[in-house]
Structure 1
Amino acid sequence: MSGKYSYDIPDHPIKYDQVDPRSIKFDPRAQRNLNKARAKTIAERLVPTALGTPILSQREDGQYAVDGMHRIHACQLILNGSVSSSDEVREAVQEIFCEVHYDLSMANEASLFIIKNKESSKVGANDEFRIGVLAGHPLFVDTNAVLEKHQLKVGGRTTNGVRGIKGILSIVQDFGPEVLDQSLTIAEDAWGRTPDTWHSVTIGGIAIVIARHPDVVTAKELARKLKKQGDPVSFKSKIQTTATNGNTRADGTKGRLKAAHLSVASAWNAHRSVNRIPVPNIFE
């Protein structure tokens, strides 16, 4: 499924040019929300030679999508007099050196923003998801459609809140939105609607099992078997204990996902003599 959901950006014109910060308008659909307090702090301490190279995508209407929004807004604050600064700093930020991209769709802009920020680890997962949805990137749009079908939202520990959106996106990227849809249904059938029902690692374990064994595993039977394992909190704890080998080793995301796969597969196999499925060795 990775081809459809890649972050590839088509070949397009790119120029490096001096741009007046006051000519730049932000579009929050293609980037994170502006934190004005953060921008003001940057402005108060701004060293022009440390601005770096903000990345712009110029639209047909002359507006820009921006990576480097807080630095640019800091320059705007200096130039409009909202923040006091020396004449030397004001002069230096009259025009700033930018990497300007042309002829990109909003989905392409979202890919550009996400790729650039992945490299520097600046963008949060929830911001990345929001930007991807609003910009129309297929991976995020398809994932959001499934979440909306299940009346779920990203973020927050609530009955209808999904935490760990990166794990949820990985399910769609690896197996497709239909598998995510089915996995969420199985989890709800097993445990009802609770904050821990939507634990992304648990959902990931369910997804792996049903994606790899579609001719053996049935949704209703798997939900029934998972319910017998206890509530979602205890099942999540079981995954954690398995991943850490009884708290004797560190666990990472991949380790927890392998443990979830093992836990879900073991639940399916419990008291079963036929239609058993392989159980992975997570410490190989």
Structure 2
Amino acid sequence: MSSVNFSPTSLFKSTLHKYIAIIVFLIAWQILPTLGLVNQIFIPTPTTILSEMYRLCLDGTLQYNTLVSLWRVFSGFLLALIVALPLGFLLGGFFKNFEKAVNPLLQLLSQANPFTLFPIFIVFLGIGELSKITIIYWVTQWPILLNTITGISNVDPVLVKMAKSAGLGKVEIFTKVLIPASLPTVFTGIRMGAVFAFFMLIGAEMLGSTAGLGHMIMQAQMVMQIPKMWAGIVTVALLGYIVNYGLLYLEKKVSTWKQDVEI
């Protein structure tokens, strides 16, 4: 039985290789403003931003605004999952003719600029939490819905024929063949939806909001508190990265059948 050699040196090399681009970027970001090649007033160094994030954590400002934003993001995102996933599976798996008829409309609606829809959402829903969560839901649902339809529709027909030959019914084919085979495409849509949710968060919170990271960023920009503004921007980016990484991990867990191809 062969053993796998695992040492701190190999771990360091693996980590360095994986994050070398980010490390180089952060070093350059630190050096350029320090040397005066970039104006620190508008682009502070990473250490300055981290120091500001630490200060905001001490007085609770960052935690409070982060929790408010996460509530809005996950409410809209969860609502999109509840609606778009079942609808995508049904349209792609059971109602293909109907899906072909409505697909042009879905594509058109998905291309609508969400920022131009803000006035409509505000008119009908006001400027409270409902309008913010709804606009995040609107943006998030399209990549989830369309990727789910695509994933189900593009399952290899050979797999379906083999399942029918084995005597499986429609429901069993759907649950045991179509859904597992479509998961990589479905999870791509889910990850895209999560990214869009955090992207839309800033815009949603800049309209009629009294809390949240988007509100904090806007307020800091208006009074020229640039480190605080960047602290909010970096926090949103980190949250988006963590959520995306978590979804990738979940995809690997539920797609255990999928094997990497090595040549």
Shorter-chain TM-score above 0.5: no
Output the TM-score relative to the length of structure 2. 0.24
More helix by share: 2
Superposition TM-score, scaled by structure 1 size:
0.23
Give the strand-richer structure, 1 or 2. Answer: 1
Relative contact order: is structure 1 or structure 2 higher (C-alpha 8 Å, sep ≥ 6)? Answer: 2
